[in-house]
Structure 1
Amino acid sequence: MSNKRILIVEDEESLLKLESILLTSKGYEVKGVASGQAALDSLAEDVPDLVLLDIMLPEIDGFEVCRRIKAAEATKNLPVIMLTAKKSREDMARGEKVGADWYITKPFKSAMVIETIQRFVGK
């Protein structure tokens, strides 16, 4: 069985490393990018099984990245989990509006992130 592939979009290098190590240790294949544009470029080349998406990103924010993922035929069914420090009701509603499948706020518990990912793509 091949490993499930996850694209992590996170501009904070320490968090990107932490999330990558966490997911790799659970058997996922991980690719990390640090901007919204890099995420869209990566998705144009190769569609993973799930996207873990920060909102506050350089160039294009996570809301717009998610909206574009859900608007494109090739990626419209791709699960997108928002992982962000933005925790207001308005932000969560906006995440839902652009099509995010789930919304996790920072600081997060590693177990919650893993459980949520497993809910969408399995182990």
Structure 2
Amino acid sequence: MAKRTILVVEDEESLLKLESILLTSKGYEVIGVPNGLAALDVLDKEKVDLVLLDIMLPEIDGFEVCRRIKNNPETQKLPVIMLTAKKSHEDMSRGDEVGADWYVTKPFKSAKVIETIERFIEGAP
């Protein structure tokens, strides 16, 4: 079985490393990028199975990245999990509006992130 690939979009370098190590240790391929424009660029060139997306990013925020992913026929079925410190009701509602599939708030428990990812990609072809 081919390894599943996860695109991690996180501008905080230490968190990007932590998330990458966590996911790699669970057998996933990880592509890590520090901003939304880089994420969209990767999605134009690579096939990924899931996007783990921060909201507070330089240039364009995670809400806009998610909106573009979900509005693109090539990527609209791609699961997007928001992983963010923004946890107000308004932020979560905005995540729903742009098509986010799930919302995990920081600080997060590694087991919860892995469990959420597995739920979304376990049945993927």
Query: TM-score by structure 1 length?
Result: 0.98
Aligned ranges 1:105-116 → 2 under 5 Å: 105-116=105-116
Work out the CA distance in 2 between the residues paired with 1:122 and 1:21.
20
Matches of 1:16 and 1:122, distance apart in 2 = 23
Contact 1:47/1:75 (<8 A) preserved: no
State the AA in 1 paired with 2:46. Answer: D
8 Å contact from structure 1 (residues 6, 30) kept in 2: yes
Partner of 1:71: 71
Cα distance in 2 between the residues matched to 1:122 and 1:8: 18
Aligned residue runs from structure 1 range 11-90, under 5 A: 11-90=11-90
Instruction: Tell me the CA shift for residue 58 of structure 1.
Output: 0.5
Deviation per CA, 1:34-67, whole angstroms, max 9, x where unpaired? 0010000110111300000000000110000000
Q: What are structure 1's unaligned runs of at least 5 residues?
A: none
SS of the residue 2:92 aligns to: helix
| Paired residues, number | 123
Offset at residue 122 of structure 1 (A): 1.9
Residue 9 of structure 1 contacts residue 34 of structure 1 at CA under 8 Å; is this kept in 2?
yes
Structure 2: which 5+ residue stretches go unaligned?
A: none
SS of match in other structure, 1:68? helix
The letter for the 1-side match of 2:73 is E
SS at match of 2:112: helix
Q: Does the 8 Å contact 1:6/1:28 carry over to 2?
A: yes
Distance 2:107 2:51 in 1: 18
Percent identical across equivalent pairs? 75
Report the TM-score, using the length of structure 2 for normalisation: 0.97
One-letter amino acid of the structure 1 residue matched with residue 44 of structure 2: A
For residue 86 of structure 2, what is the amino acid of its counterpart?
K
